[in-house]
């Protein structure tokens, strides 16, 4: 059996891979492990009453899994503060500000509706390190024993937090340095957790807002909309004559943007815009940006020209977060649109990112396309190759030799990256090259080899 926790929590097909029984067990084990690490003891007499914040995105299976998570937490003796449908960063923020020992977000982010997931936050709203996730996984079997469960007054209580959204919106406004009057933004909420929060946040900051895909019905989350489907947003931005468009994913922990002309502004470009803004204000700690191995070489070149160093991590915002905390840096993120501003958030926050991006537009008076143009992206091709065994690809000498040969042929004018997905049975083949045709040719050859690997 493989590791239960992937790059972003537990994720799988709801009610098949991710069952209510598993959700209950994970929640109960997490409550016990995190409280013990904090120096407390969950006991049957209620002597220690840990607190957990639980939120979800609007997909239908979230209702079922929320009930299971709340049951698991209360059965372990934890009091639950249920915050309902909110973005993932809101749950992280409330975990910190409500003084909770644990935060639980039920969401599969950008994955299609049939999937769901569980993301865990420790006290302070920080994502869990691998070692702590492994400890929780190791405890899954033992927490269900009747003689270890609290009874009577030791059982946790479940209560709602009616002002949870307002608390989060107030936090976002404090973190937005300038009012956004004069900015017209089209926001695609992916029929997800941003559907209520994002339009309100941008309007309260002063922007004029046109809203797309903000009518979740439990089944339509990410369905042809959001940050993985930018075509509709680009069309709407041009039709409405808006200044920009913002696209969120299902749980709103990331965003991508569209300029006024309909061109896409990816996470690398957003990072560059925000890095230059912080650099100009003397707020970019260590004059350093943290990015992942997936970031385009164009970002590295732009930062080098501006005198900004780039620290590189493995893919996954958790690894960006670890590097940010280790070096006390002030900005990091991914090409996919996860952006972290540690002075204001403990995890990626798509709404905060969008607000800061629009604030940069208002302070400079420059259109988004001009600001993003500092990054001259090398053509990049990314192929998701279904495989029978991701580990076998990683140990294949034939694949390794082919990658080395292709990189040698690019002669420093491009690069190749093979990476197993943390949530799917695929290997991602990424190639950057001077031309798109070259990148596609190289990626195609390598994808063919990867697909043929057998265990």
SS3 per residue for 63-80:
HHHHHHHHHHHHHCCCEE
pLDDT at 40: 53
β partners of residue 292: 313
The answer to whether the predicted template modeling score (pTM) of the entire model surpasses 0.85 is yes
Relative to beta strand 158-160, strand 102-106 is: unpaired
User: How would CATH label the architecture of 167-372?
Assistant: 3-Layer(aba) Sandwich (3.40)
Write down the H helix ranges in 180-230: 194-204
3-state SS, 110-151, equals CCCCCEEEEEEEECCCCECCHHHHHHHHHCCCCCCCHHHCCC
Q: Please give the annotated binding residues, written as ranges.
A: 109, 249, 251, 253
First to last CA, the chain: 16
Q: In the numeric block, which tokens belong to residue 259?
A: 């300029």
Residues of the chain with CATH 3.40.120.10: 10-161, 167-372
Write down the H helix ranges in 286-389: 297-305, 317-327, 350-364, 368-372
Chain mean position to CA 202: 20
Cβ-Cβ contacts under 8 Å for 437 (sequence gap 6 or more): none
Other beta carbons within 10 Å of 266: 22
β partners of residue 118: 10, 106
Helix (H) or strand (E) segment spanning residue 332 = strand 332-333
The DSSP secondary-structure symbol of 377 reads: P
Cβ-Cβ contacts under 8 Å for 8 (sequence gap 6 or more): 109, 117, 119, 316, 317, 318, 422, 423
Nearest to 372 by CA among 291, 260, 270: 270
pLDDT at 38: 65
Report how far residue 349's alpha carbon sits from residue 332's, in angstroms, rounded to the nearest whole number.
12
Q: Please give the annotated binding residues for Mg(2+), written as ranges.
A: 109, 249, 251, 253
3-state helix, strand, coil in the chain (%, to 5): 40, 20, 40
Report how far residue 320's alpha carbon sits from residue 322's, in angstroms, rounded to the nearest whole number.
5
380-452: what fold? TATA-Binding Protein (3.30.310)
10-161: what fold? Alpha-D-Glucose-1,6-Bisphosphate; Chain A, domain 3 (3.40.120)
Report how far residue 221's alpha carbon sits from residue 113's, in angstroms, rounded to the nearest whole number.
6
3-state secondary structure of 383: strand
Print pLDDT tens along the chain (455 aa).
467 887 778 999 999 999 999 999 999 999 888 777 765 555 444 455 899 999 999 999 999 999 999 999 999 999 999 999 999 999 999 999 999 999 999 999 999 999 999 999 999 999 887 888 889 998 886 444 555 678 899 999 999 999 999 999 999 999 998 899 999 999 999 999 999 999 999 999 999 999 999 999 999 999 999 999 999 999 999 999 999 999 999 999 999 999 999 999 999 999 999 999 999 999 999 999 999 988 998 899 899 999 999 999 988 888 899 999 999 999 999 999 999 999 999 999 999 999 999 999 999 999 999 999 999 989 989 999 999 888 889 889 999 999 999 999 998 788 899 988 876 889 999 999 999 999 999 999 999 999 988 75
- Annotated catalytic residues are 109
- b vs e for 405-436, b when ≥16 Cβ sit within 10 Å of the residue's Cβ? ebbeebeeebbbbbbbbbbbebbbbbbbbeee
């Amino acid at each position: 059996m493989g590791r239960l926790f992937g790059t972003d929590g537990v994720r799988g097909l709801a009610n098949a891979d991710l069952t209510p029984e598993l959700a209950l067990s994970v929640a109960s084990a997490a409550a016990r492990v995190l409280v013990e690490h904090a120096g407390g003891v969950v006991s049957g007499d209620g002597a220690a009453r840990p607190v957990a914040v639980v939120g979800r995105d609007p997909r239908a299976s979230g209702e079922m899994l929320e009930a299971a998570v709340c049951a698991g937490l209360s059965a372990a003796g934890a009091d639950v503060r249920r915050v309902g449908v909110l973005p993932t960063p809101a749950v992280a923020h409330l975990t910190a500000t409500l003084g909770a020992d644990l935060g639980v977000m039920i969401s599969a982010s950008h994955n299609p509706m049939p999937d769901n997931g569980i993301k865990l936050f420790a006290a302070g709203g920080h994502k869990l390190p691998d070692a702590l996730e492994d400890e929780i996984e190791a405890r899954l079997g033992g927490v269900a024993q009747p003689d270890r469960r609290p009874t009577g007054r030791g059982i946790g209580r479940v209560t709602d937090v009616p002002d949870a959204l307002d608390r989060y919106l107030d936090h976002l406004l404090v973190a937005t340095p300038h009012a956004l009057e004069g900015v017209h933004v089209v926001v695609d909420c992916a029929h997800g957790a941003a559907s209520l929060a994002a339009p309100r946040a941008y309007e309260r900051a002063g922007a004029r807002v046109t809203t797309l895909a903000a009518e979740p019905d439990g089944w339509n989350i990410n369905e042809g909309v959001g940050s993985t489907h930018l075509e509709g947003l680009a069309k709407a931005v041009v039709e409405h004559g808006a200044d920009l468009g913002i696209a969120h994913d299902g749980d709103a922990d990331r965003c991508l943007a569209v300029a006024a002309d309909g061109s896409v502004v990816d996470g690398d470009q957003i990072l560059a815009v925000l890095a230059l803004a912080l650099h100009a204000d003397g707020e970019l700690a260590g004059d350093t940006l943290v990015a992942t191995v997936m970031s385009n070489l164009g970002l590295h070149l732009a930062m080098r020209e501006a005198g900004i160093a780039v620290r590189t991590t493995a893919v996954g915002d958790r690894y960006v977060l670890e590097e940010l905390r280790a070096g006390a840096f002030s900005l990091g993120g991914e090409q996919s649109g996860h952006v972290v501003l540690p002075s204001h958030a403990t995890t990626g926050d798509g709404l905060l990112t969008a607000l800061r991006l629009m604030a940069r537009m208002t302070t400079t008076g420059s259109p988004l396309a001009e600001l993003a143009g500092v990054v001259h992206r090398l053509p990049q091709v990314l192929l998701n190759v279904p495989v029978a065994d991701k580990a076998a690809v990683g140990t294949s000498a034939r694949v390794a030799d082919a990658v080395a040969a292709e990189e040698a042929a690019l002669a420093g004018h491009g690069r190749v990256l093979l990476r197993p997905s943390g949530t799917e049975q695929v290997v991602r083949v990424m190639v950057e090259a001077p031309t798109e045709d070259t990148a596609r040719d190289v990626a195609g050859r390598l994808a063919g080899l990867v697909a043929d690997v057998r265990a």
